[in-house]
Amino acid sequence: MNILEKIKTNYSASLNEMTVAAYLEECRKDPKMYAKPAERILDAIGEPEMLDTRQDPKLSRIFSNKKIKIYPAFRDFYGMENTIEQIVSYFRHSAQGLEEKKQILYLMGPVGGGKSSLAEKLKHLMQQNPIYVLKAGEQISPVFESPLGLFADYAEELEDEYGIPTRYIPGCMSPWAAKRLREFDGDVNRFKVIRLFPSIQEQIAISKTEPGDENNQDISTLVGKVDIRKLAEYQQSDPDAYSYTGGLCLANQGLLEFVEMFKAPIKVLNPLLTATQEKNYKGTEPIGAIPFDGIILAHSNESEWAKFLNDKKNEAFLDRIYKVQVPYCLRVSEEIKIYEKLIRESSLKDSPCAPKTIELLAEFSVMSRLKEPENSSIYSKMRVYNGETLRETDPNAKSIQEYRDDAGINEGMQGISTRFAFKILSKVFNFDSEEIAANPVHLLYVLEQEVIKMMLPPETESKYLHLIKSVLASKYAEFISDEIQKAYIESYSSYGQNIFEKYVVYADHWMQNNDYRDPDSGEIFDRSILNDELEKIEKPAGIANPKDFRSEVTNFFLRHKANHGGKSPRWDSYEKIKSVIEKKIFTNTEDLLPVVSFNVKTNEEDEKKHRDFTRRMRERGYTDKQIRILVDWFMRVRKTMA
């Protein structure tokens, strides 16, 4: 089926019509015929996938070995597991008929944190399952009311005859339906029931309300108002003279999104109280109560919430709110996925992006959101939050729970927004007029300039500039140094393997407190000499606990040999020892500088080495222009750090 046929089929399927009697018979067989909005959205969300974090060392540290739920519908919302679980819990409890069914779902978080994206996703999910709406003649109920509203005074009889629980029966029918019922002399069979799919575009069971000017906005934005054009034909109190265009009218049996809710005057919000508690509300004219059985979704930033919270006059309203915090992402790996998603959805998806560019931006964003820890570096805290273990490299690093306890519940509610970060990335890609590409050198420069332009408080600006100049720049200098060195040395695998195997032999004898005789020279190494030789390898990498590290690496080596028929593991197969050996190999950079620089070479051999170097850098993901920029930056930084 092509897209044109699919649209036609879906449109036709949404207009199925039946009698009230046929609808009730279907209700007897299928509870989905009268499902509440929370039940329908839960069905659209689907069953979660259970993830046992004990199976993944990184996740086990982040989630304390718990089993977590992953909802496929929210798979693109990275690093928001807790927020999404709270939202789903709201719908689950509401569907069970608990107190949440009377509460407003309120998303509170910083700008660019994902509140609007979550709201859009929930509206999209609300469109997945149909609703059943009352129809009289050719006119559909203007408030998309359930046919069960006709039986508001006969709830128990309806349950006895058709098995529909009384909690699914609306408390009243709409003034429009009451007028039609009078016209039909109480003959319910003259009504029809139509099957509709909620629609954002057509405002069927889904609507959006935004705060207007405080001086002229009134409750009609929610409850509708009289249609002046119809007053020539109907009395002002006639239901047919009323314009059911308010947000609550259009969102019945669905979802009402209230953007920046607490910016609206309290008089505008009052109808929400009766709509949530009594499931009906009063219009602006003397007509009967209008039913509302839908979800009210509101969102705003923290400052608006704090202002509303501190006003004692709002206590009744506050008691009817289910608050879900939507903080910024605090895990670098998940923040990277957000940027990659944004890039995929833009024309930049095929543009070159040098290694480490996106990661550096993610690290800056996350560190800007973290509370500064005591007796520990913010960089280490960021890595611990990302599920890394720093036992070997930073003895001052705390556990993830210690960091969280110290930070409190509001961590992640301030800092650089994802929206701002992506604007930075856009400028980096377009920084060079000759090449649409991104690299870390341009990123660090653009970041610094944009932070200065933001006119932040001096303390915040100082913190951000320190992160860029001292933390990120130095970490990237180490990274690009390794990249250049690896591309310079054509083959260091055999050298690395020799260091690895020698290290294991020395460490094994040292732990056993045995002397070691070198088979080639016959020289005997006692325990102190073995320790000196091991430290020559460990110190360049800054190993903090050499005893534990030696034991861990030796055990890994011996286990691998036992499980693979006596074959030794490759030196780069174990990340911990790999990074240590690389640091040992690349302690001296003097030899490579003449080769990697773009100065004129004095001989053909250096020229050939330079061509080989640039080829290997291209294989590592860099363009020719990026190689020149990054090598020049590395040479400058190396001089300043020397």
% of the chain surpassing 70 pLDDT: 94
Numbered ranges of CATH 3.40.50.300 in the chain? 9-36+99-325
State residue 420's pLDDT score: 93
Show the beta-strand stretches assigned E in 228-354: 242-243, 255-259, 280-281, 290-291, 295-300, 321-325
What local confidence, expressed as pLDDT, does residue 81 receive? 92
Q: Round the average pLDDT of the chain to a whole number and report it.
A: 88
pLDDT digits (tens, 9 = 90+) for 263-283: 888 888 888 888 998 999 998
Q: Which residues of 481-504 are buried (b: 16+ CB within 10 A; e: fewer)?
A: bebbbebbbeebeeebbebbeebb
pLDDT at res. 592:
67
**Most confident segment among 186-195, 262-271, 486-495, 570-579:** 186-195
> What does the pLDDT read at residue 597?
81
Mean pLDDT of 76-83: 92
Contact 242, 283 (CB under 8 A): yes
Q: How confident is the model at residue 639 (pLDDT cuts 50, 70, 90)?
A: low
Distance CA 280, CA 518 (A): 89
514-536 tens-digit pLDDT: 888 888 777 888 888 889 888 88
Q: Which residue has the tokens 């990335």?
A: 425
pTM: 0.81
For residues 479 and 356, the answer to whether their CB atoms sit within 8 Å is yes
Give per-residue pLDDT as tens, 382-410. Answer: 999 999 988 778 888 899 999 999 998 88
What band does 255 get if pLDDT is binned at 50, 70 and 90? very high
581-595 mean pLDDT: 67
405: its two tokens: 């306890």
* Nearest to 77, CA basis, from 39, 47, 119, 44: 119
Helix/strand/coil percentages in the chain, nearest 5: 55, 10, 35
State yes or no: pLDDT of 641 exceeds 60: no
Q: What is the pLDDT of residue 368?
A: 96
- 437 has pLDDT over 60: yes
Closest CA to 148 of 36, 256, 263: 36
Mean pLDDT, range 120-133, rounded to an integer: 95
Do β-strands 191-196 and 49-52 pair in parallel, antiparallel, or remain unpaired?
unpaired
Residue 580 contacts residue 537 (beta carbons within 8 Å)? yes
Asked if the model's pLDDT at residue 7 lies above 70, the reply is no
Say what the pLDDT of residue 117 is: 92
Candidates 391, 377, 395, 394; CA nearest to 470 is 377
Selection from 7-21, 123-137, 505-519, 584-598 with the highest mean pLDDT: 123-137
User: 90 to each of 39, 62, 103, how far by Cα in Å?
Assistant: 11, 24, 9
Structural element, H or E, at residue 554:
helix 546-563
Predicted confidence at residue 305, as pLDDT, reads: 85
Integer CA distances (angstroms), 289 to 85, 171, 173, 296, in order? 35, 10, 8, 18
**What is the predicted pLDDT for the residue at 490?**
57
Average pLDDT over residues 501-524: 86
Residue among 340, 597, 574, 635 nearest 488 (CA): 597
Looking at residue 1, its pLDDT comes to: 58
Q: Is 293 left (phi over 0), alpha (psi -120 to 50) or beta?
A: beta
Per-residue pLDDT at 469:
92
Tokens (6 digits) for 468: 């860029």
Q: Tell me the pLDDT tens digit for each residue of 367-386.
A: 999 999 988 899 999 999 99
Between residues 169 and 571, the one the model is more confident about: 169
Under 8 Å CB-to-CB from 322, ≥6 apart: which residues?
Answer: 90, 100, 103, 104, 105, 106
Answer left, alpha or beta for residue 279, where phi above 0 means left and psi between -120 and 50 means alpha. Answer: left
CATH class of the domain at 9-36+99-325: alpha beta
DSSP 197-220: --BTTTTBSEEEE----TTT--TH
Question: In the predicted model, is pLDDT for residue 507 greater than 80?
Answer: yes
**How much is the average pLDDT of 442-465?**
94
Range with the lowest mean pLDDT among 121-130, 263-272, 435-444, 455-464?
263-272
Q: What is the pLDDT of residue 92?
A: 95
CA dist 413 and 418 (Å) reads 12
Per-residue pLDDT band at 300 (split at 50, 70, 90): confident
Q: Residue 122: phi, psi to the nearest 5?
A: -65, -40
Answer whether residue 18 shows pLDDT above 70: yes
More confident residue, 56 or 1: 56
* Residue 590 pLDDT level (bands cut at 50, 70, 90): low
Q: What is the pLDDT of residue 493?
A: 60
pLDDT recorded at residue 482: 82
Q: What is the predicted pLDDT for the residue at 585?
A: 67
Q: What is the pLDDT of residue 260?
A: 83
Please report the pLDDT score of residue 169 as a whole number. Answer: 93
pLDDT of 329 strictly over 90: yes
Q: What is the pLDDT of residue 148?
A: 94
pLDDT digits (tens, 9 = 90+) for 209-235: 887 666 556 788 899 999 888 888 889
DSSP string, 467-480: IIIIIIHHHHHHHH
pLDDT higher than 80, residue 240: yes
